[in-house]
A and B are shown apart, each in its own frame.
Chain A
């Protein structure tokens, strides 16, 4: 992967100037490269990774295994679209194996998520079945472990 993407994927808050120093280019070159990534839809967004457990807002996440009937001439994409357009749906993947779509849904309570599945998702024409699994705890997301940041406890040693 290109180095600028690699850096942004770890920390998207770095400025063009900071990235430029890291990769040995000018800030203008970095700016142009990032603009190009935006334009090409390589970079599709800049978000923060939040550990909701440490916030005051209650958030419930569910992973839903969805079986669907693909639509003639349109395959899975149209069905998936009908699902991922809902704002409650945070992620949606087409899967190989025992079911078709993984749908990640976030809500303020289990009831809210359950209602969404029952009323919105399961009632779609092409949806055959939904199997809902609530997330109890997130240990790691997007390559980042959700434990307290380690302190630098290396001891002083004469070398």
Chain B
């Protein structure tokens, strides 16, 4: 028996991570400044960590109910009201293992072979990956820099076919930092409201917007029942390693998603759940401070790239800058590999987030001010020497 032949085709055919080679390179080099990692450099606020520790000291080491502690779901429900989202904690929320699990179980609940999932790109790699695992087809929308990488009604309309069952709404966006305002969502809602299509709205960066508050597509009454909202604690509360997120939606959808969740994962880690209750109750100031700091670094980075001569649209969300490197004449991959080898700075090629990311790189500003300034210096030197 050849072991490889036992593996399902759609798994085998999935290309490995496009940036693995960079990660291998990093391990061989010293003094690398990584703007490649997509997670906060802040540590989880101490009061949150302390509650997690206390829960362990008290011996709270058991499962929770499948959907998560009701106390946590209640806190999530009351927290989401700030986005004008109203969910019943008893049957409209599941606490998941990160936002990623939410994406996975939502797609597995909704689509299979023959179905199409609209995935606007550039975007987080898991949408296409998880779609492929279900046997459904990802129908990619190539977002454009001239639209500031926002989803437009025209592009959406073009992508919809009779097979479309799901559209991913990935804003604030990783990797571009694009956001969608209420006015920009309105035409999208117009397109979707009378169609049998579910929106999966990934709002994991909802706290990280600058100058504009986040607007959820589910806050439009026409969309509430047909949207699954994905969110979590990783980005807002700097809790990536705790692996905790949640999904919200119509009770009928949540009920079915819960089946997959309960068989695959039982429940989300409970230490993290206790900590998350504290995060939702007592961290507004900490979150606000982190957002302010990100905003400063965002300006430093955008300004830095523009000074170097790289065209860079202003991202108003998440913690990424997505400058164009087309003026250098290099491909994204060449740029990133050269920059890493010659100047020891890691940024991620735009192509890691979809083919239309060619000509762009993603730089994450969740890194110290000193690192950002030094990285910009090195990038400038790299470009001068091309």
Contact = CB atoms under 8 A, between A and B. Distances in A.
Most B-side CB within 10 Å, residue of A3, A11, A150, A159: A159
A7 B36 contact: no
Contacts of B303: 21
Contacts of A6: 292
B34 A152 contact: yes
A17 B121 CA distance: 36
B299 interface: yes
Contacts of B300: 18, 21-22
Interface residues on B, range: 20 to 34
A154 B39 contact: yes
B274 to A, nearest CB: 24
B38 interface: yes
A18 to B, nearest CB: 8
Interface string A14-26: 0000100111100
A158 B34 contact: no
Contact of A3 (B34, B41, B124, B292): B292
Given A3-B292, A152-B371, A159 B38 contact: yes
Interface in B1-43: 17, 19-20, 22-23, 26, 34, 36-39, 41, 43
B367 interface: yes
Contacts of A150: 43
B296 A158 contact: no
Contacts of A18: 300
Interface residues of A, number: 17
Interface in A113-159: 150, 152, 154-159
B125 interface: yes
A154 B34 contact: yes
Contact of A158 (B125, B297, B299, B368): B125
Judged by DSSP, the binding face of A is loop
B41 A22 contact: no
A152 B370 CA distance: 12
Given A7-B296, A23-B296, A158 B17 contact: yes
Nearest to B210: A24
Nearest to B366: A154
Contacts of B41: 152, 154
B26 A21 contact: no
Contacts of A21: 299-300, 303
Contact of A159 (B125, B292, B296, B371): B125
Contacts of B124: 159
Most B-side CB within 10 Å, residue of A11, A150, A155: A155
Contacts of A159: 38-39, 124-126, 174
B54 to A, nearest CB: 21
B299 A152 contact: no
B26 A156 contact: yes
Contact of B299 (A24, A154, A155): A24
Nearest to B41: A152
Contact of A156 (B23, B297, B299, B371): B23
Nearest to A3: B292
Nearest to B36: A156
A6 B369 CA distance: 15
Nearest to A14: B369
A157 B41 CA distance: 14
A21 B299 CA distance: 6
Interface in B286-328: 292, 296-297, 299-300, 303
A146 B37 CA distance: 27
B299 A22 contact: yes
A152 B39 CA distance: 12
A158 B175 CA distance: 12
A21 B368 CA distance: 15
6 contacts: A22-B297, A152-B41, A152-B367, A155-B37, A157-B38, A159-B124
